[in-house]
Amino acid sequence: MTAPIWHTQSGEEVAAALRTDALHGLDSAEAAERLVRHGPNALPRARQGSTLALIARQFRSLMVGLLVVAGGVALALGDVVEALAILVVILLNAAIGFATEWKAASALAALQGQAVATAHVLRDGAAHVIAAQDLVPGDVVVLAAGDRVPADGRVIQDVQLQLDEAALTGESLPVTKSAAILVDAQAPLGDRGNMVHMGTAVTEGRGCCIVTATGAQTEMGRIGALIEGVAEHGTPLEAKLAELSRALLVIVLVLCAVIVLFGWLRGNALLFMVEVGISLAIAAVPEGLLAVTTMTLAVGMQRMAGMGALVRRLPAVEALGSTTVICTDKTGTLTRNEMTVRAYTLGALRVDVTGTGYVAQGHFQIDGRDIDPAPLGLALRIGALCNDARVDRTGDAVSILGDPTEAALIIAAGKAGLEHNALHAAYPRIRELPFSSETRLMVTAHTTPGGGTVAYAKGAPGMVLAACVAVLGADGETPMTAEAMRQARAANEALAAGALRVLGLACRDLPDDFAHADLTRGLTFVGFVGMIDPLRDEVKATVARCHQAGIRVVMITGDQQATAAEIARQLGLDTDQQGRPLQAVHGSALADLDDAGWIRVASGASVFARVSPEHKLKIVEALQHSGQVVAMTGDGVNDAPALRQADIGIAMGIRGTEVAKGAADMVITDDNFATIVAAVEQGRVIVHNILRFIHYLFSCNFAEIVTVGGAIMLGWPLPLGVMQILWLNLVTDIFPAMALALEPSAPDVMRRPPRDPAEPLMTVAFGWLIVWQGALLSGCTLAAFAVGMRWYGLEGEGLRHAVTIAFMTLAMAQMLHAFSARSRSRSALTSRLFTNAWLWGATGICLALQIAAVEVPLLREVLRTVALSPADWGLVAMGALTPVLVVEMVKLMTGWRSRAARRFAEHPAGLPPAPDGGRP
């Protein structure tokens, strides 16, 4: 096309040009194969400059450098075997690092592949939902409020179509789009009113466009090419780990330098002590920490994805584990999202409707007796025609395209014999005002079979009543008096009190010249329709689980206050964890609140009904200002600001708009509240697993430093050789640590309070735990070494025998310590002893390698070990078992004191009162 398509060509001409010029006469399959070369997911991406991966590579480079120096020192000392062994360690270290990073990268890539954008297209006259990356030029895309535009396109149909193009043009206000040809052939991007562009968002109305460019050929794609080299910033968790690792690096290097100095002053050769110091530094620097952390995050995110929770941003993982408040929508999240019409009220008449789900089978009843639904004809017709949903049936399968509430109205009309397509043919739509969060009304204009024109409206009961000047009753149409308004409101409240979602129905005969008429005024009130969306079976138990976990659940809904309050009562949301009553607040009570008022209301409410998008944002901000970590769910365009503001925004994968998904940190593929809570649990597990292997790695590394340093201070020979230190670092550090990173959820993980995200990873108490347990491991190793020296002497083969005992004792003690490191407070000797198969597998591998270290002649030569006698093995077993027994005894005593303190706090007198008030 030589002329700009927004200037000289109509939508039909654009379509024809794309079919002939772009597709070159190929059939659709061949065209798709050739033209799907660039999709939205193929945009040039910013390089994933992960802070964790970068520092891990820096640490690995440092380790390789230290190993090369150690190998050079070994050669200088004439020990060729040791130098070759160090070369092997270099290769193994690199292989393990590569394997760990590859596993993490593969897991993250798999997760990215699951979050595929979709598009609604018309192909061969039928509607389809396809992956956005499968769009080709010439496809017709259907756009609706909340959609993110999947490709550049020329508008060919518009109904009050408005887009937010801020991401592309910087324009802060929504831009109106139309199918008209523009006059200016040189129109800048922001003024092309008949073009839509990939990445922008539909904020209002609906329309269709024909795809003109995809992927890297779009305007957004060209911008993406400019930012290809920009790296991402690190996450808070990454920053904490990086800071901890660097601090530990400095401490370790200083300690190793001190050990080298003291060893030299004690009479050991300087080069030998330098080699020992380098080996200790290699063993103590946690080069595996960052790689294992990355793997833990990736594997944890894969577990979440398997549950139906796709995490889009890494900081969300840490926020999940610290969540204190979940602000949730009701429809589809707490409920099944299977709306069913239960009742119609026409004046004083109430008609109940039987049947459930999306099957058009049921009866209309008054006081339990079936009736002819003819009196409901107008109400049923309004609900079915003022409606954008579609119900498609293929055999026994039913698929819903659109709002489930509107689908329920179509099903209700079908129960009365009103077929949807026949209704639309008899009452063709000629104008519409789409539903918006501001008006909370939808109005459509239709021609009637008699040649007239009528407007049908449905929406929030209060907004419908406010737009009505008349009411339809048994005597026909009468003015809307104060008494009629009171009766209508009472009928609405009666339906809402039964936990029904209520919509008002109204109509209006239109004059011939109605093009400029205000369709939201002068309506005649017809009645109400009450619908129910049954609660999910598991939600009540899940809410109770949140309370146990110290998480408050707040329901934010567009339903009426009475409906929302009744549902909250059924779910147990009307009280907090201590049983204190919480309020149900109407949106009207939030007007003109100052910051202190918002905090006060948000702190004491469990339900917010009839709220606006601005209210949702203010609720999240108020909760955050009161110190809460907030998770917020949402599905619509109007939810995007609150999703972005929340500590973790959660979009609904089924009914969520692309705008909401783009603003969210996590997408729930099944729209189920239980999945959100399961993701919170996994967020806690991930952080706890990171702390578990920090506990294990640091205590073991500290034990190795103290073992060598302590022996030097005591004037003893070195209890560990250079290759033995490197062996411990390679075998007993890495495998158990990686297994701890895969620890499953503990039974009490959701019975603990949320973790403070501002808390550092290494607290004083945690640091002290690592120090005393590392010292315990070291003390038992030195004790076994002392016995070995007493048994076999301090010279030649006897000293080598004692060193072997120390080496085996420390290795075995570290393996057993991994089981204690699974929990700081829970005993390892419980029914959960066998729940981590990875840890048992890692222990088995380490044990086999340790036995090989003293039984295989080649390894004995490299590691400078000897075969052990049964008495030696008994000494090793005693030294290895003692630390785990002491740690478990301390846990038992600490737990006993904690339980006693709680009992005393609850009953200061020492004994609980008897049930009858007398002495127990």
Which residues lie across from 376 on neighbouring strands?
none
How far is residue 759 from each of residues 109, 322, 502, 622, 762, measured CA to CA in Å? 30, 10, 46, 22, 8
- Enclosing H/E stretch for 850: helix 837-855
Write down the residue that tokens 């466009």 correspond to. 209
d(CA 330, CA 572): 14
3-state secondary structure of 784: helix
3-state secondary structure of 233: coil
Number of other residues whose CB lies within 10 A of the CB of residue 644: 17
Considering the candidates 329, 533, 639, 647, report the single residue annotated as catalytic: 329
- How many Cα atoms are found within 13 Å in the side-chain-facing hemisphere of 597? 8
Which residues lie across from 175 on neighbouring strands?
163
- How many Cα atoms are found within 13 Å in the side-chain-facing hemisphere of 141? 33
Number of other residues whose CB lies within 10 A of the CB of residue 807: 29
Which residues lie across from 391 on neighbouring strands?
400
* Torsion angles phi and psi, residue 25, rounded to 5: 75, 5
d(CA 714, CA 702): 18
Using an 8 Å Cβ cutoff, are 62 and 285 in contact? Answer: yes
Using an 8 Å Cβ cutoff, are 640 and 660 in contact? Answer: yes
> Terminal CA-to-CA distance of the chain, rounded, Å?
93
Using an 8 Å Cβ cutoff, are 316 and 388 in contact? Answer: no
Number of other residues whose CB lies within 10 A of the CB of residue 757: 18
- Amino acid letter at 106? S
- How many Cα atoms are found within 13 Å in the side-chain-facing hemisphere of 109? 6
272: Cβ contacts below 8 Å, ≥ 6 apart: 77
User: Closest by alpha carbon to 553, among 543, 561, 563, 545?
Assistant: 543
Largest Cα separation within the chain, whole Å, is 116
How far is residue 80 from each of residues 75, 122, 768, measured CA to CA in Å? 6, 73, 41
Number of other residues whose CB lies within 10 A of the CB of residue 627: 11
Angle among Cα 68, 843, 883 to the nearest 5 degrees reads 95
Using an 8 Å Cβ cutoff, are 631 and 311 in contact? Answer: no
User: Closest by alpha carbon to 616, among 588, 587, 659?
Assistant: 587
Strands (E), 499-653: 501-510, 523-532, 552-557, 583-586, 605-609, 630-634, 648-652
How far is residue 718 from each of residues 259, 462, 715, 784, measured CA to CA in Å? 11, 84, 9, 13
Active site annotation includes 329: yes
Which residues lie across from 459 on neighbouring strands?
441, 504
* Torsion angles phi and psi, residue 657, rounded to 5: -80, 160
Which residues lie across from 393 on neighbouring strands?
398
* Cβ-defined contacts of 619-622 (< 8 Å, 24+): 619/327, 619/554, 619/556, 620/327, 620/645, 620/646, 621/645, 622/595, 622/598
**Could you list the active site residues?**
329
